[in-house]
Amino acid sequence: MFDKILIANRGEIALRVIRACREMGIGSVAVHSTADADAMHVRMADEAICIGPPSATDSYLSVPAIIAACEITGAQAIHPGYGFLSENAKFVSILEDHGITFIGPTAEHIRIMGDKITAKDTMKNLGVPCVPGSDGGVDTVADALAVGIDFGYPVIVKATAGGGGRGMKLATSAEDMETAFRTARAEAKAAFGNDEVYIEKYLGRPRHIEIQVFGDGKGRAVHLGERDCSLQRRHQKVFEEAPGPAIDATTRAEIGRICADAVARINYIGAGTIEFLYEDGEFYFIEMNTRLQVEHPVTEAIFGVDLVREQIRVAAGLPMEFNQDELNINGHAIEVRLNAEKLPNFAPSPGTITQYHAPGGLGVRMDSALYDGYSIPPYYDSLIGKLIVHGRDREEAIARLNRALGELIVDGIETTAPLFDALLLEDDIHSGDYTIHWLEKWLETNLQDG
Q: Which residues bind ligand MV4 (CB under 6 A)?
A: 131, 156, 164-165, 200-203, 208, 232, 235, 277, 286-287, 436
**DSSP class of residue 130?**
B
Q: In angstroms, what is the minimal distance from the CB of 160 to ligand MV4?
A: 13
Helix axes 296-303, 307-315, angle to 10 degrees: 100
Helix or strand holding residue 264 (H, E): helix 249-265
What is the closest distance, in whole angstroms, from the C-beta atom of residue 287 to ligand MV4 in the complex?
A: 5
Helix (H, G, I), strand (E, B) or coil at 321: coil
Those residues with Cβ within 8 angstroms of residue 421's Cβ, 6 or more apart along the chain or in another chain: 402, 405
**CB contact at 8 A, 133 and 110:** no
Give me the least distance between CB of 3 and ligand MV4, in Å please. Answer: 39
Confirm if 14 and 8 have CB atoms less than 8 A apart.
no
Closest CB to ligand MV4 among residues 167, 363: 167
Comparing CB distances to ligand MV4, the nearer of 287 and 414 is 287
**Distances from the Cα of 378 to the Cαs of 11, 31, 340, 368, in angstroms?**
13, 18, 10, 17
Whether 234 is a known active-site residue: answer: no
Instruction: Pick the catalytic residue from 111, 220, 291, 337.
Output: 291
Q: What's the alpha-carbon Rg for the chain, to the nearest Å?
A: 22
For residue 87, the SS3 value is coil
Q: Quick one: 206 or 385, whose CB is closer to ligand MV4?
A: 206
The residue (of 287 and 367) whose beta carbon lies closer to ligand MV4 is 287
Q: How far is the CB of 168 from ligand MV4 (least distance, A)?
A: 6
Nearer to ligand MV4, 157 or 263 (CB): 157
Q: How far apart are CA 420 and CA 387, in angstroms?
A: 11
- Tell me how far CA of residue 128 lies from CA of 131, 233, 285, in angstroms: 10, 27, 7
CB of 286 to ligand MV4, least distance (A): 5
Name the burial class of residue 3, with classes exposed (0-12), middle (13-18) and buried (19+) by CB atoms within 10 angstroms of its CB: exposed
Shortest Cβ 330–ligand MV4 spacing (Å): 27
Kindly state the smallest distance separating residue 201's Cβ from ligand MV4, in Å: 6
Query: DSSP character for 210?
Result: E
Q: Is 18 exposed, middle or buried (0-12, 13-18, 19+ CB in 10 A)?
A: buried
- Are 272 and 214 contacting, i.e. CB atoms less than 8 angstroms apart? yes
Quick one: 101 or 232, whose CB is closer to ligand MV4? Answer: 232
**What residue type is 109 in one-letter code?**
H
Whichever of 66 and 168 has its CB closer to ligand MV4, that residue is: 168
Q: Which residues contact 326 (CB under 8 A, 6 or more apart)?
A: none
Q: Helices H, strands E: what count in the chain?
A: 15, 22
CA distance 228 to 211: 9
CA distance 316 to 2: 7
By beta-carbon proximity to ligand MV4, the closer residue of 235 and 392 is: 235
CB of 66 to ligand MV4, least distance (A): 28
Residues with catalytic function: 291
